[in-house]
């Protein structure tokens, strides 16, 4: 390997006749006057001048090449490999052309690639292009990860990629970007596994119901044992909820907004008037629903009822209360109050107010990973509340400590969410955005960090994106997103060009802590997502099961004549729970005969179904 052609302080071209260059591999240029600079291969190409690609020229047929090979000449030996190498550090003057280039030994590049230990850092994958150093790698870094390639597990070949979570103090927050199928969700799963390994309190918002860590991959069983009992899954409305009396009026406005689109000004002022401090859900919702009732009947209607004869004292009291309400809030437009009432009901039906977040707090205090599941809109509402509430707790503790007061300890924690652009969209207001923004900007002071994943970096709030100091960029196809990523990271034009073609699970890590972009492959996850069954397989399976049941019933009666079907319908209803009428039953029988499971005989007089 040798440096050829024009060189600059940053880049050189290298040629080799025998060795194929690997993208992202590290090479050492033997230029003693520059202390043997090191660099990374950023572009590779190979060509054979004897097999050109001239569209206007004739092609060399394979036969001739084979014949030549047979008589001792291998045309491939005339192949030339060329690579563009970018130096890690700019040299004071250009590299000398003609210098020899060699592969590094691990010790020479250790400092560049490894910043922590596998025990203290997050072991996320393997650094691409480091395979050539496999033999000289130090024992403490050997066999740290298992890799999944083309559906097969393989042992670690290169240097493991270790993310030093402690550098988050300086360079907080992580972004994970990539389109669907890019390996982004797997990457997120691996990160969560590592957070669990390190016992870092973490709260995960999981709109897809996929962050379940209880199902272990059998092939990697010995590696995932330490993850047991370190995660906790809670569902909104079933295990956790919002304690209403802790909410401020502003919180309630946000909740109502999340429950059904934008609030009108009239609705906002209605909430402000109706909500009282320390209101419980019951007191507040009673007030609202009574007001709705009162406004529907109107003052006159109520008074008329009050004059009615057969009222019990209790009923009279109720009517008087309604009248009082009506008097107190007579300025509020009925439509707005009804809107609030409807939204409040929606939140209540989702079970949002029946529980609290104690279990989440406990989980975090135990250093667990808490996964919060719920449908997308409820999750947004809940996340807004829970993030705000947890962050406040942590901040209060830290502030108290700063003032020399003895507060109740609340741990630092990490907030993780997929589809982050839904929580903090650019340009549009959303309930969670202001809290997330605050954490993005100030969180590191209090030890609260964000791991945000999204497929649409362009749609994520810019202030937040700018604060993500480490970005994992998976395959991205959309032009606008590539553009955004180029602006927000130090990806080079060559790297950006590769983005649409990355393999699933390969990712660029652009990290302020590393000071440069590293190309890695995410390791195999030790746990797997619960719903891996393909819905189409499911469809087939269910249909097959039903067929078997129906066939079992019919079988006993075959051959069946068309005229006897009615009695069978009853039996099928009893045995299989299928409520079919005659024409449906005939259709099903025809279908079965089409697929060859029974045979249909048609004569001018009667139709008969029989065994095949």
Partner 1 sequence: MLSVSDEIKRKLEKINESIRKLYPISVLDPVAIRKRLSMFGKFYKIEKWKDEKIKDWLSGKTLVGVDGSVNSTKGLQTRTLSVFQALAKGTKGEEKWATDVYTPLLEEEGQDQARQAQHRGKLLSRLELEVTQFAIEKWQPKAVMLDGSLFHFYIDHIEDWQKAAKVAEEKGVYLVGVTEEIGSQGLVKEVYPELKGWSDRDLLYGVLEVGEAFEWEDWSPVGSQMWKMALRSSRSPLPIGLDGLEAQKEMRFDLVSLVYTLTPEQGRGIPFWLDIVDNQVRVTDPLVETLVEQYIDPDLRHRIFMPKRNERII
**Residues of this chain that bind partner 1 (CB under 8 A):** 49-50, 58-61, 63-68, 70-73, 75, 78
> What is the residue whose two structure tokens read 């890019």?
182
- Toward partner 1, which CB reaches closer, 72 or 535? 72
In the complex, minimum distance from the CB of residue 6 to partner 1, in angstroms, rounded to a whole number = 15
Q: In the sheet where 369-373 sits, what is the strand order?
A: 160-163, 122-127, 517-522, 506-511, 470-473, 174-177, 448-454, 413-417, 202-206, 369-373, 231-235
Minimum CB separation of residue 51 from partner 1 in Å reads 10
Q: What's the min distance (Å) between Cβ of 15 and partner 1?
A: 17
The DSSP annotation for 484-548 comes to HHHHHS---HHHHHHGGGPPTTEEEEEETTTSSEEEEEEPPPSB--S--S-HHHHHHHHHHHHHH
Nearer to partner 1, 4 or 578 (CB): 4
Shortest distance in whole angstroms from residue 68 CB to partner 1 = 7
Residue indicated by tokens 């569209």: 55
Q: With CA atoms as reference, report the closest residue to 460 among 491, 486, 438, 428.
A: 428
**Residue with smaller CB distance to partner 1, 67 or 272:** 67
C-alpha distance across the termini of the chain, in Å:
72
**Nearer Cβ to partner 1 (69/208):** 69
Element (H, E) at 46: strand 38-48
* Helix, coil or strand: residue 86: strand
The burial class, CB within 10 Å (0-12 / 13-18 / 19+), for 407 is middle
Which residues, in sequence order, are CB contacts of 130 under 8 Å at separation 6+? 25, 26, 113, 158, 159
Kindly give the interhelix angle for 535-555 and 565-576, rounded to the nearest 10 degrees.
130
Instruction: With both helix axes pointing from N to C terminus, report the angle between 334-349 and 265-274 in degrees, rounded to the nearest 10.
Output: 70
CB of 61 to partner 1, least distance (A): 5
Query: Considering the complex, what minimum distance in angstroms separates the CB of residue 174 from partner 1?
Result: 51
Q: What would the two tokens of residue 438 be?
A: 């605050």
Alpha-carbon distance of 326 to 331, in angstroms, equals 9
Number of Cβ within a 10 Å radius of residue 324: 12
How far, CA to CA in Å, does 452 sit from each of 201, 299, 326, 505? 16, 53, 47, 17
Q: Which residue lies nearer to partner 1 by CB, 50 or 606?
A: 50
Q: Contact at 8 Å (CB) between 445 and 477? A: no
Burial grade of 473 (CB within 10 A; 0-12, 13-18, 19 or more):
buried
In terms of CB distance, is 46 or 334 closer to partner 1?
Answer: 46
CB of 74 to partner 1, least distance (A): 9
Closest to partner 1 by CB, 67 or 330: 67
φ/ψ of 175, rounded to 5, equals -115, 140
CA distance 446 to 54: 63
- Of residues 65 and 103, the one with the C-beta less far from partner 1: 65
Radius of gyration of the chain (CA): 34
50 vs 544, which CB is nearer to partner 1? 50
Query: What DSSP designation does 249 have?
Result: H
CB of 73 to partner 1, least distance (A): 4
Q: Minimum Å distance from CB 64 to partner 1?
A: 5
Of 46 and 68, CB closest to partner 1: 68
Q: Cα separation of 460 and 420, whole Å?
A: 7
DSSP-based three-state secondary structure for 452: strand
Nearer to partner 1, 6 or 532 (CB): 6
Q: How near is the Cβ of 1 to partner 1 at its closest, in Å?
A: 21
Whole-number Å distance between alpha carbons of 103 and 29 = 9
Toward partner 1, which CB reaches closer, 47 or 409?
47
Residue 131: CB atoms within 10 A of its CB come to: 14
Q: Looking at beta carbons only, is 98 or 308 nearer to partner 1?
A: 98
* H helix count then E strand count, the chain: 19, 22
Q: Which is nearer to partner 1, 60 or 134 (CB)?
A: 60
To the nearest whole angstrom, how small is the minimum distance from the Cβ of residue 127 to partner 1? 38
d(CA 445, CA 452): 19
CB of 43 to partner 1, least distance (A): 24
Question: How far apart are CB 54 and partner 1 at their closest, in Å?
Answer: 11
Nearer to partner 1, 66 or 399 (CB): 66
Residue the block writes with tokens 């950006």: 496
The minimum distance between CB 76 and partner 1, in angstroms, equals: 13
Q: Select 62 or 349, whichever has its Cβ closest to partner 1.
A: 62
């Amino acid at each position: 390997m040798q440096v050829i052609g024009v060189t600059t302080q940053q880049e050189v071209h290298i040629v080799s006749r025998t060795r194929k260059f690997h993208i992202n591999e590290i090479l050492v240029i033997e230029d003693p006057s520059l202390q043997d600079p090191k660099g990374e291969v950023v572009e590779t190409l190979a060509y054979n001048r004897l097999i050109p690609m001239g569209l206007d020229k004739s092609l060399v047929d394979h036969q001739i090449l084979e014949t030549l090979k047979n008589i001792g000449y291998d045309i491939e030996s005339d192949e030339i490999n060329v690579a563009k190498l970018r130096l890690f550090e700019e040299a004071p003057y250009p590299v000398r052309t003609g210098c020899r280039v060699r592969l590094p030994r691990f010790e020479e590049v250790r400092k560049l690639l490894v910043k922590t230990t596998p025990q203290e850092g997050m072991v996320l994958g393997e650094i691409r292009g480091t395979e050539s150093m496999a033999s000289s790698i130090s024992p403490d870094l050997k066999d740290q990860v298992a890799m999944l390639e083309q559906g097969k597990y393989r042992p670690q070949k290169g240097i493991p990629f270790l993310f030093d979570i402690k550098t988050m103090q300086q360079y907080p927050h992580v972004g994970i970007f990539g389109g669907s199928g890019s390996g982004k969700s797997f990457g997120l799963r691996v990160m969560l596994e590592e957070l669990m390994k390190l016992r870092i309190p973490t709260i995960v918002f999981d709109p897809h119901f996929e962050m379940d860590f209880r199902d272990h991959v059998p092939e990697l069983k010995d590696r995932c044992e330490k993850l047991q009992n370190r995660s906790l899954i809670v569902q909104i409305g079933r295990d956790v909820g919002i304690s209403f009396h802790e909410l401020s009026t502003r919180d309630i406005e946000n909740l109502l907004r999340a429950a059904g689109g934008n609030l009108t000004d009239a609705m906002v002022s209605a909430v402000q008037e109706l909500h009282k401090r320390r209101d419980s859900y019951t007191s507040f919702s009673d007030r609202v629903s009574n007001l709705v009732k009162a406004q529907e009947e109107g003052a006159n209607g109520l008074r008329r009822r009050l004059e009615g004869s057969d009222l019990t004292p209790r009923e009279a009291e109720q009517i008087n209360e309604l009248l009082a309400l009506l008097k107190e809030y007579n300025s509020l437009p009925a439509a707005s109050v009804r809107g609030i009432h409807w939204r409040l009901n929606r939140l209540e039906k989702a079970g949002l107010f029946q529980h609290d977040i104690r279990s989440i707090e406990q989980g975090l205090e135990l250093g667990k990973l808490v996964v919060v599941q719920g449908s997308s809109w409820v999750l947004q509402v809940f996340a807004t509340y829970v993030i705000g509430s947890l962050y406040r707790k942590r901040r209060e503790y830290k502030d108290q400590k700063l003032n020399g007061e003895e507060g109740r300890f609340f741990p630092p924690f990490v907030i993780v969410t997929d589809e982050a652009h839904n929580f903090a969209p650019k340009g549009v207001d959303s309930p969670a955005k202001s809290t997330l923004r605050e954490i993005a900007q100030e969180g590191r002071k209090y030890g609260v960090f964000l791991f945000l994943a999204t497929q649409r970096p362009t749609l994520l709030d810019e202030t937040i994106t700018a604060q993500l100091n480490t970005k994992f960029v998976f395959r991205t196809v959309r032009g606008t997103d590539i553009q955004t990523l180029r602006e927000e990271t130090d990806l080079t034009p060559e790297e950006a060009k590769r983005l649409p073609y990355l393999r699933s699970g390969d990712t660029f890590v652009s990290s302020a802590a590393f000071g440069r972009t590293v190309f890695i492959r995410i390791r195999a996850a030790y746990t797997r997502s619960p719903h891996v069954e393909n819905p189409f397989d499911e469809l087939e399976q269910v249909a097959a099961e039903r067929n078997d049941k129906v066939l079992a019933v019919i079988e006993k009666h075959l051959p069946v004549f068309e005229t006897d079907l009615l009695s069978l319908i009853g039996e099928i209803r009893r045995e299989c729970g299928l409520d079919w009428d005659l024409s449906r039953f005939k259709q099903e029988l025809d279908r079965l005969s089409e697929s060859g499971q029974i045979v249909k005989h048609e004569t001018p007089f009667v139709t008969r179904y029989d065994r095949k």
